[in-house]
Structure 1
Amino acid sequence: MPTVINIVSKGDDQIKRQNYLGDGVMAFVGEPGDPAAGVAMSAIIQALYETNMVAIVKKLNSARGVPRIGLLTPHIKAKYECLFYNELPYNEDVRQYTFSSLTASKRNQPSEEQLQAVDNLITSMDLTQVEDEDEKTEVLKPKLTFNPYLQRVYQCLQHRVLNPNDPVPDIDPVIGQYLQPCQEVLTKCKPNLDKMTKVFKLDRITKKKVDATGENLWKQSDVNESGPAAKKPKIDEDGDFTMEGMAKGKITEVCCCFCCK
């Protein structure tokens, strides 16, 4: 059982879903065969659940291991109760990125037609409103849909144990079905996807490539007193930059600063 550091409110701003780390969840229950441990664990779970609180804990797998910080959330069902553990990041592990607002420039503001097209696409992608035999049903239910990555690993392990000399088999059709989108949803989304391509037009921009010669790299802009300075040529960073290309210009004179004085 991890060591409890603090008890905080579940609705507190300090607990954010995007801060959950790891690729899985651990469940903690009372020690089997120890009634006293079960009663103590049940008391903690019930107290956290009734007060809408969670526990911030520290977990250490071994004496030489790296301590991890996590979150214990109460989970109560009719036949069992436990504490779900999710790993959390330390303060120095969180990266805050600030992006400029899309509404700062009128050019980036979407039109009403574009907003409506996005709303219609989101509505058509609703997995809980898929029609099946004149009934609306939900597809890809979490309780009925298995992780295709784990299922593929288990399939290969089972095959290798039973057939150690055979190659890895092809993916099972049932597992492959998890990787394919629902055909009913695709059919329903098709008109909205076509509308999105019309209202959000994308143009391919071709960069003008400039030879990376010494003349272009170090040429000073002509300063005109009656007008702005001429723009310097922009060198494509993806272009081929070689010493041979820099030496393409014809050398007419070589001097040093001492000779010019």
Structure 2
Amino acid sequence: MIPVFPDTKVALKGKKGLIVGVANDQSIAWGCARAFRGLGAELAVTYLNDRAKKHVEPLAQALEAPIFMPLDVMVEGQTEAVFERIGKEWGQLDFLLHSIAFSPKEALHGRVVDVGRDGFLKTMDVSCWSFLRMAHLAEPLMKNGGTMFTMTYYGSQMVVENYNIMGVAKAALEAAVRYAAAELGPKGIRVHAISPGPLATRAASGIPEFDELMDKAQSKAPARSLVSIDDVGNATAFLALDGAKLITGGVLYIDGGYHIID
């Protein structure tokens, strides 16, 4: 018998997801949030601080997000507060998108072998450990299984000029994805690292000579095209569907094929 698939517009209807990392309408997390919402999911959205709130609040309203809260992972208790409210109001969580990373300027702009301990720890804390912490808090809410996403980059596997200590953090993050996938898989929870090609986001603006990196990606990628936040969002949303329930623990490259080229 030929299977009858549900209308793709409501493929995530009834699902509830947390989106962490929307800074403005150029954010990868915003592209993902739009794709999730377009498939019928209900979303909780966080913003970094009061300064960011004015940029994120209109986007959260456009998503009709019933939960809109501050979340700075370096502020004690804020991460726990978000998950506590989700547990209280929704009683469940079906997917989690972690799209945050940070490295102090002096750590990011210097050589890896010169990075100070404080800079290294802060880079790893925000860029890697915060994902594990969110996974820990999300696990009991994913009673019927679920999906966890985090954002990585090609610089985790290959040395990319000027990516520096962030490449080390992303390599750790990808390892964390594999271990989390193995540990949570028996509960029906899958874990993914999403690796977009270079995008002109606010976070990327901190990387020296980023325009040159984008030009190189466009000229060398087999698709001869730069990725958009919508490209990333659509591919990420697919992995939250039931049809992708046996895909877990890997890195999905959304880069026009750039990662296969020497």
TM range (shorter): under 0.3
Q: Which has the larger radius of gyration?
A: 1
Could you tell me the TM-score, scaled by structure 2's length?
0.17
Question: Taking CA–CA contacts closer than 8 Å with sequence separation of 6 or more, which of the two structures ends up with the larger relative contact order?
Answer: 2
